[in-house]
Structure 1
Amino acid sequence: GCCNEWISYMQKNGFEVKVNETGNYDAHKRFNIKYEHASCHTAVIDGYVIEGHVPAEDIKRLLAEKPDAIGLSAPGMPIGSPGMDGEAYGGRKDPYDVVLIKKNGESEVFKSYNQ
């Protein structure tokens, strides 16, 4: 499904991916991910949480800037985001934001897509 598509996308963008299928509820609880930031899969890289279909360029920027934050999220499952952009979606690209999740649980837009 879309999670495997995102994994393939990340590997093509130079990331090594190790899969642990533990269920998202546990990951959300463990990393303090609020409902409004939740998506279908959770990744961790260099101590940052990556929630959902976040583009590789945003993750690379996060790792370069190293903000004091929990991580990034592409809330929900936005069509047109990496892993949600295959043939089944017919080229559809919905607008969506990648948000930076701050340690206090608040968020701010990190980058907007398809606006």
Structure 2
Amino acid sequence: MNRILRLGAIITLLAPPMQAMAQQTSAVLYKNPQCGCCEGYADYLRDNGFEVDVKPTNDLAEISRRAGVPEDFQGCHVTFVDGYVVEGHVPVNLVRKLLSERPDIAGITLPGMPMGSPGMGGAKEEPFKVYAVGQDGAPTVYATE
């Protein structure tokens, strides 16, 4: 009987953390219908615990512009996660940093399609410079990786 009570107490203590682990962060990724690397990035997010809804569109530049990402800082896809825009092939640790710190910005962007970035092929050629996009659209360096 004593063993059963202890086991019940342990299960009760572990239940909330296990439920929290089961909850995934939802993301919506807009991409050009023909882009394969965007699917690679969606898979990368899924492999790292995100629930990703991929939406093909021919209006990618307009969606990015409305999200506050200047043209020179746009990537090949745009993702919306928990109230933030994540543009391009941003490493997941920086997405998590954004979501945990919750800065007063529109989001973050890794412009272009850098080799070796998540979802892209090839070897990383230089450090990734990820920019914060302010509510006013003025980009500043958020992190270098």
Return the TM-score normalized by structure 2: 0.70
Matched, 1:3 2:35: no
Counterpart residue number, 1:96: 128
Moved more, 91-100 or 73-82: 91-100
CA distance in 2, matches of 1:74, 1:64: 19
Q: Which amino acid aligns with 1:61?
A: K
Unaligned runs of 5+ in 2: 1-35
Unaligned runs of 5+ in 1: none
CA shift, 1:39, in A, is 0.7
Counterpart residue number, 1:14: 49
Aligned ranges 1:27-46 → 2 under 5 Å = 27-46=63-82
Task: Return the index of the structure with the highest Cα Rg.
Answer: 2
Partner secondary structure for residue 69 of structure 1: coil
Return the TM-score normalized by structure 1: 0.87
Residue-pair matches, total: 109
CA RMSD in angstroms comes to 1.3
Matched, 1:111 2:143: yes
CA shift, 1:92, in A, is 4.2
Q: Which has the higher contact order (CA 8 A, sep 6+)?
A: 1
Identical-pair percentage: 39
